[in-house]
A and B are shown apart, each in its own frame.
Chain A
Amino acid sequence: SQTIHQWPATLVQPVGSPLSLECTVEGTSNPNLYWYRQAAGRGLQLLFYSVGIGQISSEVPQNLSASRPQDRQFILSSKKLLLSDSGFYLCAWSVSRRDGEQYFGPGTRLTVT
């Protein structure tokens, strides 16, 4: 069966510090991978998605970037965090098909102070 992992589970970082969140998927090959952010009162927002190694699409302009160095690894990064980057970050995967069901990881709670 497929499993999706995210770490760390929680993170408190000062403004201006760098960020690296990691997501890995087990039990599947060539998945589509997604990063979402859930901010209070704003619902879930898609940040990035990837259909293959090195292929990243950005949905919103922001202070963040994403990379996919391996087939089942997706990384969310920032060089300098802003207060507005605080939120709950969720990674998801689906089979590489437009109508594929999406499965979510446990999330990372990021607080920027």
Chain B
Amino acid sequence: KQEVTQIPAALSVPEGENLVLNCSFTDSAIYNLQWFRQDPGKGLTSLLLIQSSQREQTSGRLNASLDKSSGRSTLYIAASQPGDSATYLCAVKDYGGSQGNLIFGKGTKLSVKP
């Protein structure tokens, strides 16, 4: 059974710092991995999608990497801003189910202090 773990559960950094969020998964048989952002009381916003054949994806100040063989992904946020404060969720789409299911980690709650 696929399990997704995110470390740390919470992170507080000063504005301007570069930071890395970690995600690990137990079964490397995945179609893709997706990083989301969730603001309090809101839905999920998709940040980056990495297909299983890819190593990384970039969008603005965000860079996500995928090492499928070791079951790891990282989300790198450059020059963090207070507006980046949110919970970041990692999810993998594995081979379970007829259309694949997204298996989520419990998230990393990020706080960027001005």
A positions within 8 Å CB-CB of B = 6, 32, 34, 43-44, 46, 49, 51, 57, 59, 88, 90, 92, 96, 98-99, 101-107, 109
Q: Is the CB of B42 within 8 A of A43?
A: no
Kindly list the 5 A-B residue pairs having the minimum CB-CB distance in the complex, ordered from nearest: A104-B44, A44-B104, A99-B31, A43-B106, A106-B43
Query: What's the minimum C-beta distance from A101 to chain B, rounded to whole angstroms?
Result: 5
**Most chain A CB within a 10 A radius of its CB, from B51, B100, B105, B106:** B100
What bracket does the count of chain B residues touching chain A fall in? 20 to 34
Closest to B96 in A: A59
Residues of A within 8 A of B44 (CB): 90, 92, 104
Task: Determine if A99 and B93 form an interchain contact, defined as CB atoms under 8 angstroms apart.
Answer: yes
Not counting A59-B97, A101-B46, a sample of 16 additional A-B residue pairs whose C-beta atoms are within 8 angstroms of each other reads A32-B99, A44-B91, A46-B101, A46-B102, A49-B99, A49-B101, A59-B101, A98-B93, A98-B100, A99-B51, A99-B100, A102-B102, A103-B46, A104-B45, A104-B46, A106-B42
Residue of A nearest to B101 (CB): A46
Known A32-B99, A44-B89: A101·B36 in contact at CB below 8 Å: no
How far is B99's CA from A98's CA once the two chains are assembled, in angstroms? Answer: 5
Nearest residue (CB) in A for B31 is A99
Name B49-107 residues within 8 Å CB distance of A: 49, 51-52, 89, 91, 93, 97-102, 104-107
- Specify the chain A residue showing the minimal Cβ separation from B107: A43
Q: Which residues of B contact A46 (CB under 8 A)?
A: 101-102
Residue pairs across A and B with Cβ atoms less than 8 A apart, 28 shown, are A34-B102, A44-B89, A44-B102, A44-B104, A46-B101, A46-B102, A49-B101, A51-B98, A57-B97, A57-B98, A59-B97, A59-B101, A90-B44, A92-B44, A98-B31, A98-B93, A99-B31, A99-B32, A99-B52, A101-B34, A101-B46, A102-B34, A102-B91, A103-B46, A104-B36, A104-B44, A107-B42, A109-B41
